[in-house]
Structure 1
């Protein structure tokens, strides 16, 4: 329980009161003591040094208190409210932002290809917004279930040569910041991004290059649980000619130096990772300026 300021010696006078108003004024004289020969001697000889020590302690104490208060101000996070607002805004983008802003018709991937080569992706299909029932393998759907599936948006792109197709998705969840952080930590600590039984599914649109892009054609994938937005981003890539893949590889492994698997040699890890990264960047840019229209 904090002491009553009115009972403190350092408390300021109440409005309208002068020094001494409403409280007694106490003055200290110099009472006498006796030295070793029983001669009278003022106590001031001994009191003054003690008062000096007490004064020094008081100054030091006030300095420590002031430092603690200042430290608490410095350790506070003035951007916390802005971060919460940004988090909420991101969760509502699925119905307030045009599809061309979330999934641009053309995406430039400067330096996104193998060896830093440039990439360009063209959108060939946009899936109707839907639930998550058929978008993920069963176990991945189970892992994501605690976040809830508020809305799922997907689009499929082809590279400039028409050799590869990639589906990229934005899962808008009902999770709060704590839930998103918990799942992101789990993905990191348990290596869930590398498990082939936790893959997203492609969106195979009829009459497009992705018409034969099914679960057996998945070559590389990436899943990212955001912590600054209630969103999970992902991408999965494969060949446009419909060839099957016996051993799909997570994008982070397929893009590693020295990787020799078929997805790595074809650059399909770069396709998935590069497109997912740029859609995620676009999402964050939209959160910071939601009314901005795509160029």
Structure 2
């Protein structure tokens, strides 16, 4: 079975694509073709982009190499299969592996807190795809996500330059919400169980990967005050959730960036 794809109907449509279009009579086809041609002639433009399509910098010409590359890069989250964006298994150093429990069909940016949205600045968020994983020892769970960034090329470049992953990882208000999965060890993995998080941004500013980790036994995470101070023992660098959050965010972005760029570096 082919992997499913993100980006349509809030879930995972079949890769077979949309149903065939109904046949139309030649008269209707000609009439339908004339309407947009007349409209374009009056408006004096060559193309009309929908509000949900990527925007361009001033002076960029739709159809140019740079614009086409930009559109292609920012459409990967929609066209790539789910198993390529958030694979069923993620291997860490040594023999440790993480197994995907479920993918969230809701791609809303509402999964991100207000502080995270604010940090995105003018670029903003268009979609969030995420899934929850369990490690092979069944001790740590993590919600891993990919944020599709909006805005112009200039705005995304500015975001890349301003994004400070290490600093943000120490701010409780920036931490995305979790995705609990019913009937699994992650069923109780709610926001109160979050212990650590980390992010990584693609070098073109088009995507941000993040991972929010906690323990599978459902123990509570640190309070907002303790998190920001970083004085809780579970927030130290050798804590499993801290290591997992760092590794999975970097791994997710690296794997995803390779889908559309041979130089998908991140910070």
Q: Same fold (TM over 0.5)?
A: yes
The match for 1:123 among 100, 120, 123 is: 100
DSSP-derived class of the 2:109 partner: coil
Partner of 1:196: 172
Aligned equivalent of 2:137: 161
Indicate whether 1:283 and 2:256 are aligned: yes
Q: Which moved more, 1:168-177 or 1:119-128?
A: 168-177
Which residue matches 1:27?
none
2:145 is paired with a residue whose SS is strand
Q: Could you list the per-position Cα deviations for residues 248-268 of structure 1 after superposition, in whole angstroms to 9, with x for gaps in the alignment?
A: 759xx99xxxx9822434321
Classify the secondary structure of the residue corresponding to 1:90: helix
- Give the number of the structure whose alpha-carbon radius of gyration is greater: 1
For residue 90 of structure 2, what is the aligned residue in structure 1?
107
Q: CA deviation at 1:82?
A: 7.1
Q: Using the alignment, how far apart are the partners of 1:263 and 1:188 within structure 2? A: 18
Q: What is the rounded CA distance, in whole Å, between the counterparts of 1:238 and 1:101 in structure 2?
A: 24
* Paired residues, number: 196
Pairing 1:91–2:70 present: no
3-state secondary structure, aligned to 2:214: strand
Q: Which has the higher helix share?
A: 1
Q: Does 1:178 align with 2:150?
A: no
Q: How far has the Cα of 1:177 moved from its partner?
A: 2.9
Q: 2:201 aligns with which of 209, 216, 225?
A: 225
SS at match of 1:197: helix
- Gap runs ≥5 in structure 2: 1-63, 263-267
Cα RMSD after superposing both structures: 2.9
- Residues 244-259 of structure 1 aligned to structure 2 (within 5 Å): 244-247=220-223
Aligned 8 A contact 2:202 2:253 in 1: no
Q: Which of 230, 234, 241 is the aligned partner of 1:262?
A: 234
CA separation of 1:189 and 1:206: change in aligned 2, threshold 3 A: closer
TM-score (normalised: structure 2): 0.65
**1 CA distance for matches of 2:178 and 2:253?**
18
Quick one: distance in 2 between partners of 1:225 and 1:284? Answer: 10
Q: How big is the shift at 1:277?
A: 1.3
Unaligned runs of 5+ in 1: 1-80, 112-116, 290-295
Contact 1:180 1:226 in 2 (8 A): no
TM-score, length basis structure 1: 0.59
Tell me the SS of whatever aligns to 2:120: helix
The 3 A distance-change label for structure 1 pair 99 and 136 is: same
